[in-house]
Amino acid sequence: MRKKVSIIGGGNVGASTAQLIVQTALADVVLFDIADGIPQGKALDIAEACPLWNSSVSVKGTNSYADTKDSDIVVITAGFPRKPNMSRDDLLHANADVVKTVSSAVAKTSPNAILIVVTNPMDVMAQLTWKTTEFSCKRVIGMGGILDAARLRAFLSWELNISPEDIETIVLGGHGDQMVPLPRFTTVKGIAITEILKKKTIDSLINRTRSGGAEIVSLLKSGSAYYAPAAAVVQMVKSILLDEKRMFPCAAYLNGEYGMKDVYLGVPVILGREGVERVVEVKLTKEEKAQFKKSCASVRKLIKKLLL
């Protein structure tokens, strides 16, 4: 039997995620949204492209959680997008209500699923999802670090005029302005960027990465990024479904790792068929530890507002 991935939220991120999964024939897809006709229309459009992609997986749009029953993976993108001059944190209470409703429904229909949370503020929404579903923390993962790392890789590739394929990086901490990119672990074919770029240039690229989502929101005027977030989700889905055990920066539950407890934060993890199979700890410098602690405090502040 083919694997089944359900995507909760038929907006731009959800629909783009559905398209990529179907196009690469990774799994059968169910696209759920509360708006009548939206998921059905988008799913039909994707299905009609399958002959052109030589893909034989199925894709279904629905307004019923019953159609998502027994999913292997559920991707939660439902919620309100950012508008200009809004931070991810401004969405806190509105999206918390959405995520709580979604999580409760998913826990009943797909009790064995692995959940990937995309809705912002993502780290807090991942923690809310974990609390609501009472799933093992290994099966609730937040998407953010992969996207932040991809943005930094893109900016570096333009600066260095080389392929982004040759660039690797790690971004720790919350998926927001307090994220912690690590220049000494950012390499071009194994060469640290600290060896080939000036600190001023690196700092400038890191600052652009931190405000990468806001930059897109300001350009779009309405809505937020979706192509890169969807691509990041699909990398996670693929690593889980195929048990690839790839290492990605994701929001995972920390229980002492990096000196933090009872909080979801972006750290390097190994993703396989069990979800987060382990958290990879790297030794941080004093400055990096301080930045990570500051990022954690920012996430905890939002968690406290939701009384989690």
Tell me whether residue 93 is one of the annotated catalytic residues: no
Pairing of the two strands 167-168 and 187-188: antiparallel
Give the other-Cβ count within 10 Å of 93's Cβ. Answer: 9
Catalytic residue among 139, 153, 175, 300: 175
Q: In what order do the strands lie in the sheet with 246-255?
A: 59-62, 28-32, 4-8, 73-76, 114-117, 140-142, 246-255, 261-272, 275-279
- The Cα-based distances of 123 to 36, 63, 80, 267 in angstroms read 29, 27, 16, 11
Within 10 A of 94 (CB to CB), how many other CB atoms are there? 11
- Give CA angle at 125 (246, 150), nearest 5°: 40
What positions carry a catalytic annotation?
Answer: 175
